[in-house]
Amino acid sequence: MAVNGQKYDWESITITLPHGILIDVESIDYNDELEKEVLYGKGATPVGVGNGNYKAETKLNIRREEYNKLLEYAGKMKKPLYRLPPFPITVSYANDDQPKVTDTLPACQFNKASTNPSQGDKEVKVEMGLVLSKPILWNGKANV
């Protein structure tokens, strides 16, 4: 329970990649899911549920300056950005009135970069797509 109504907010989030803490970051979006399908047998009502594949993915919206840092990191590793070995991303939520919560996105790899600067923009953003080959740990626990 938050004292004085203090809740987690953008200021309370720290996002860490292998090259360090992200500074020029606007957002992170991560999700996971387990495919489920209702199974039918005799009659019109379900007889059970079948599980399918687990899938996790994430997106980062960063400024071009942070993207340049990622490219520099990849260069130091002597790899193209999309060929970097899997790495973890940690997203920590912490403020004075709430316990620290850390989600870990293990085994991430970049698979997409997209930008669309246009006249009048005050900043240039790059949307980065990532795939995850291991389950997300939501405050230390996987959902599968």
CATH assignment of the domain containing 80: 2.30.110
Distance between CA atoms of residues 122 and 137, nearest Å: 36
What integer pLDDT is reported at residue 36 of this predicted model? 97
Q: Number of structural domains, the chain?
A: 1
Residues of the chain with confidence (pLDDT) below 50: 1-3
Helix (H) or strand (E) holding 65: helix 64-76
Which structural domain range is residue 47 located in? 3-142
What integer pLDDT is reported at residue 11 of this predicted model? 87
What integer pLDDT is reported at residue 1 of this predicted model? 45
pTM for the structure as a whole: 0.86
Would you mind telling me the total number of residues written for the chain in this entry?
Answer: 144
Q: What are phi and psi of 139, to 5 degrees?
A: 50, 45
36 beta partners: 51
What integer pLDDT is reported at residue 2 of this predicted model? 46
Span 63-102, pLDDT tens digits = 999 999 999 999 999 999 999 999 999 999 988 777 889 9
Asked if 133 and 107 touch (Cβ cutoff 8 Å), the reply is yes
